[in-house]
């Protein structure tokens, strides 16, 4: 799964990488501890050019009577995203890319304390999470990150990981190219992601700063 991530680049630079026209209300960056229910940049297909827009991380199905009218849906499982009532229409019609420079995952020690790990691309570039979105009332667009079974970079830490898409797959996921998007929902190949332990300060959603991604592996 993915419950926290990092955006170490300004919105303008991310828009350049994704060849997208940035909206005026994108959240400020960089951000070192992006949490659910906050606004995040998302890339969607547009008429002639992609757009980078602001979305609330935490997908709200159209039938919720209020934003907290059901579970907080920050992730959507790849295995059921096309059939689960909350997600199936979005999986067919409303897909997006969610930029990140890295993300956090946790293990536990013998005392059940949460130990955070930071995952980032081996080439220090940008990640593109596979996402889906849904408009909901005063919240505007809300989104979830698609997750899949853990691959070689993640399986020792957690049994799930966010689906990360290579640049050549972005047009297919966004519906800009013909073809089936389902085969893209797979784990990152071996070597794409690196990881290291980081300080437990990141466990608090109130803490920010570049020091959160610094290695404490020794």
Domain assignment present for residue 16? The answer is: yes
The β-bridge relationship of strands 50-57 and 20-22 is parallel
Yes or no: say if 182 and 165 are a contact pair by the CB < 8 Å rule.
Answer: no
Domain assignment present for residue 39? The answer is: yes
pLDDT given for residue 123 in this prediction = 92
Number of domains in the chain: 1
Q: Which residues of the chain have pLDDT under 70?
A: 1, 218
The order of strands in the sheet holding 114-121 is 31-34, 4-7, 102-108, 114-121, 193-197
Name the burial class of residue 158, with classes exposed (0-12), middle (13-18) and buried (19+) by CB atoms within 10 angstroms of its CB. middle
pLDDT given for residue 19 in this prediction = 97
pLDDT given for residue 109 in this prediction = 87
Residue in the structure block whose two tokens are 């400020």: 28
Give the residue among 162, 166, 145, 134 at the shortest CA–CA distance from 64: 134
Domain assignment present for residue 38? The answer is: yes
Domain assignment present for residue 109? The answer is: yes
Domain assignment present for residue 125? The answer is: yes
Backbone φ, ψ for residue 145 (5° rounding): -95, 130
CATH number at residue 143: 3.90.1680.10
Give the residue among 35, 55, 153, 152 at the shortest CA–CA distance from 96: 55
pTM for this predicted structure: 0.96
Domain assignment present for residue 9? The answer is: yes
pLDDT given for residue 28 in this prediction = 87
Domain assignment present for residue 218? The answer is: no
pLDDT given for residue 111 in this prediction = 85
In angstroms, rounded to a whole number, what is the distance separating the alpha carbons of residues 40 and 18? 15
Q: What is the 3-state secondary structure (H, E, C) of the chain?
A: CCCEEEECCCHHHHHHHCCEEECCCCCCCCEEEECCCCEEEEEECCCCCEEEEEEEECECCCCCCCCCCCCCECEEECCCCCCCCCCHHHHHHCEEEEEECEEEEEEECCCCCEEEEEEEECCCCCEEEEEEEEEEHHHEEEEEEEEEECCCCCCCCCCEEECECCHHHHHHHCCCCCCCCHHHCCCCCCCCEEEEECCHHHHCCCCCCHHHHCCCCC
Domain assignment present for residue 148? The answer is: yes
pLDDT given for residue 112 in this prediction = 87
Residue 56 belongs to domain spanning? 4-213
pLDDT given for residue 115 in this prediction = 95
Count of other CB atoms within 10 angstroms of residue 177? 12
pLDDT given for residue 110 in this prediction = 84
């Amino acid at each position: 799964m993915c419950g926290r991530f990092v955006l170490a680049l300004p919105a303008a630079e991310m828009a350049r990488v994704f060849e997208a026209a940035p909206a005026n209300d994108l959240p400020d960056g960089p951000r070192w501890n992006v949490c659910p229910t906050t606004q995040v940049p998302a890339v969607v297909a547009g008429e002639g050019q992609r757009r980078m827009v602001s979305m609330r991380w935490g997908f709200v199905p159209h039938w919720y009577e209020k934003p907290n009218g059901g579970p907080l849906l920050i992730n959507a499982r790849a295995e059921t995203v096309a059939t689960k009532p909350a997600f199936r229409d979005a999986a067919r019609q409303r897909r997006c890319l969610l930029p990140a420079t890295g993300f956090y995952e946790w293990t536990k020690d013998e005392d059940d304390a949460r130990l955070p790990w930071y995952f980032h691309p081996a080439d220090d570039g940008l990640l593109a999470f596979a996402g889906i979105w849904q408009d909901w009332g005063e919240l505007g667009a809300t989104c979830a990150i698609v997750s899949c079974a853990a691959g070689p970079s993640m399986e020792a830490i957690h049994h799930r990981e966010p689906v990360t898409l290579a640049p050549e797959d972005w047009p297919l996921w966004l519906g800009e190219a013909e073809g089936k998007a389902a085969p893209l929902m797979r784990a990152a190949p071996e070597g794409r992601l690196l990881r290291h332990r980081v300080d437990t300060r990141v466990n608090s959603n109130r803490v920010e700063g570049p020091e959160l991604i610094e290695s404490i592996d020794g």
